[in-house]
Structure 1
Amino acid sequence: MQPSITMPNGIATAVYDEPALLRAAEAAIRAPSLHNSQPWLFGLRDGAIEIRVDPDRRLAADRAGWAARMACGAATYNARLALAVAGRPAVVDLHPDPADRDLVARLTPGVRRPPTYAESELHAAIARRYSNRGPFWPAPVPAEARIALLEGARSESAWLDLLVGATALTAISEIAHSADRVLRRDLRYQAELTTWTHADEAPDGVPVQAGAPLAESQDLLPQRLFADRRRVPGRDYDAEPLVGVLGVPGNQPADQTTAGQAMQKVLLTATAKGLDTSMISQPIEVPAAREQLRRALGRSGHPQIVLRFGYGDTPGHPTRRRAVAEVLV
């Protein structure tokens, strides 16, 4: 039976309890974040689950907070799935308190119902999803999977442009590499990247074994320098990968959180379809590059992330996460 409280008017109102919070947080911490920084906190207030930006984990390179809100949006989507499969789907209110800028979402219980097949399938994909930064096989992504990716973004109030043809890919490549060069010249960015790279079993950051091999001149898209290994001969990146740009109509904090939810649904959809994915955020981190990207797409909205889809030639595994107890408030 779902917990409830009795309001002063005598009407009983459903609330989430601590087991529901733990269930939501356990799924939410599996969301992706820039440098696997995990910038989120979770708590209960008046029977609602709140998802917040952890101000102590905001990256220096993320001055405007875009990356943290994208990550918390992705965490919100995972939490929604966990609550839905438990029969307690959430009503989501994004950025409900203008005076509390770190509060990104408040989840209150909706009408009880059994989970849909799609919710169960995507929830099962949470534990399997990871970023594969290595080369993909040149095998094309089937049309059925592409349609599912597009629908995943659309259903979360976002758009996903899948780039087709050498001309479109070359334009995105030039913008992404230009942004990457700008970031590499930033000493603070380089120092922070090093801080979040590790060779041990740390519960956050990016392990060197999960990093991409060293860049080579023919690479279409840039990769962050998380590792110093060279790729195996013959294991080049595919010349025409399936690249998508996800965006939303606006660029306010709530729009970025919405984009994070849509990104996570697209990533989980890809995982459920047997695809590998990785994220290219350099063109979003540099404002001039983001504007170039928007113009190249001919979009009036705002790009929020670049995604790569395909079939990895080397299997990987999800990176570690902090314990749930560390992210509860």
Structure 2
Amino acid sequence: MASRQGQLDEKAVTGLVAEAAAAPSMHNAQPWRFRYLTGERVLMLRGDPERAIPHSDPDNRALHIGCGAALFNLRVAAAHADFVAQTRLLPEPGDPLALAAVQLADADADADADAEGVRDQDLARLHPAIRQRHTSRHPFAEKDVPEDVRATLRDAAEREGAVLLFPGPWHAETVLDLIRDAESRDTLEPDANEDLARWTRLGPEADTAVDGVPEYAFGPRKRDGKAPVRDFAGRRPVADRGTTTFEYTPHLALLSTPGDGPADWLRAGQALERVLLEATLADLATSLTSHALEDRALRLLARDPGSGAGQVQMVLRLGYGPRGPATPRRPVRDVLEIV
């Protein structure tokens, strides 16, 4: 994919960014922009303030997590294409929206396994899952996730500086209670509906959307069960949607980081996507909820009651069931500038 002069061509860079932009983000807002510096072979990742979600994400925590997930996809795509991605987080201290700088170098086939110029085979292995991973808002089977799969997912989070905890029954019920509390709170706050109205796509708009959550990805309404699934329709009618029973024992995982600042959020996003890609390769369906984490006071209550340590950044729901449909993505030309 590199030119004879050793420069990444436009097609190669476009392909890398297309893979990066397949990442999940809150309400599928896709809050990222990329700028490729041709002479330096550096891709700059920036947060896009126009795609911030001020009510649900007032401190841009979710924006950073989404951009971190895109950054991890970029690293995977680069490894698959025989490039080495050397990443610096928050490279410009005076610019809080400059989130990462990624130096792209050609992999050296003769490099030692521990050398910086060697392709990361473990990242490249995850590449097929980038396009297979979709958020599923459908019921999952009442079936346990095997311990060896859980161990793989815990290791994936640890590799990116995060911790993945599978809560016990009491802790899981506490988290579900927090999610229900958050849902009830939103019904009483008119501003909460503004975010949903902006980022959901109903009727003919769903067929042409390039962002947001289209109605075909809402999944059925929950008639019963305890699975934490945000209802993007709210009180608005959606044709042919139906209702069904979800699992009564949802399998939850909590992704935590030691701190709770911008660098931690970016690491959380990378860890989240690594976990999701590993889960996809293990034939697990996944969905995410940050409902109980959008308020910092509730977020503290979601922590492991045993250790009381760490900052919970995302609640994952894992299981066996339909993966859900692909959601739309913006054209790469709208998120990438090459200079």
User: Which TM-score applies when normalising by structure 2?
Assistant: 0.86
Q: Does 1:50 align with 2:44?
A: yes
Contact residue 121 and residue 272 of structure 1 kept, 8 A: no
Quick one: distance in 1 between partners of 2:275 and 2:320?
Answer: 16
Matched with 2:101 is 106
2:20 equivalent among 13, 20, 28: 28
Measured against aligned partners, the alpha-carbon deviations of 1:63-122 in whole angstroms (never above 9, x if no partner) come to 211111001000000001111111112111000101111111100135614655532331
1:268-287 alignment to 2 at 5 Å?
Answer: 268-287=277-296
Name the SS for the 1:136 alignment partner: coil
Report the Cα offset of residue 221 of structure 1: 2.4
Measured against aligned partners, the alpha-carbon deviations of 1:122-172 in whole angstroms (never above 9, x if no partner) come to 1110001110011101121122211111111001110000123x3222111
Matched with 2:175 is 172
1:135 equivalent among 132, 139, 151: 139
1:60 equivalent among 46, 54, 59: 54
Q: Does 1:185 align with 2:188?
A: yes
Quick one: which amino acid aligns to residue 31 of structure 1? A
Matched with 1:145 is 149
Quick one: which amino acid aligns to residue 265 of structure 2? Q
Q: Does 1:257 align with 2:252?
A: no
Extract structure 1 runs of 4+ deviating beyond 6 A.
Answer: none
Name the SS for the 1:243 alignment partner: strand
Measured against aligned partners, the alpha-carbon deviations of 1:46-70 in whole angstroms (never above 9, x if no partner) come to 3210111111111122221111100
Change (3 A) 1:4 1:107: farther
Contact residue 286 and residue 323 of structure 2 kept, 8 A: no
Quick one: distance in 2 between partners of 1:152 and 1:113?
Answer: 25
Measured against aligned partners, the alpha-carbon deviations of 1:171-225 in whole angstroms (never above 9, x if no partner) come to 1111111122223322122122022111322111111121143344642425233
Paired residues, what number? 316
CA RMSD of aligned residues (A): 2.2
Q: Does 1:326 align with 2:334?
A: yes
Change (3 A) 1:254 1:116: closer
Name the SS for the 1:69 alignment partner: helix
Report the Cα offset of residue 42 of structure 1: 0.7
Quick one: which amino acid aligns to residue 280 of structure 1? T
Quick one: distance in 1 between partners of 2:185 and 2:87?
Answer: 37
Quick one: which amino acid aligns to residue 105 of structure 1? A
Change (3 A) 1:222 1:286: farther
Quick one: which amino acid aligns to residue 51 of structure 1? L
Measured against aligned partners, the alpha-carbon deviations of 1:9-42 in whole angstroms (never above 9, x if no partner) come to xxxxx87553442122010110001110111101
Contact residue 95 and residue 254 of structure 1 kept, 8 A: yes
Q: Which piece of structure 1 moves more, 102-111 or 57-66?
A: 102-111
Name the SS for the 1:189 alignment partner: helix
Quick one: which amino acid aligns to residue 71 of structure 1? G
Contact residue 280 and residue 306 of structure 1 kept, 8 A: yes
Quick one: which amino acid aligns to residue 161 of structure 2? S
Contact residue 31 and residue 49 of structure 2 kept, 8 A: yes
Q: Does 1:91 align with 2:103?
A: no
Quick one: which amino acid aligns to residue 326 of structure 1? D
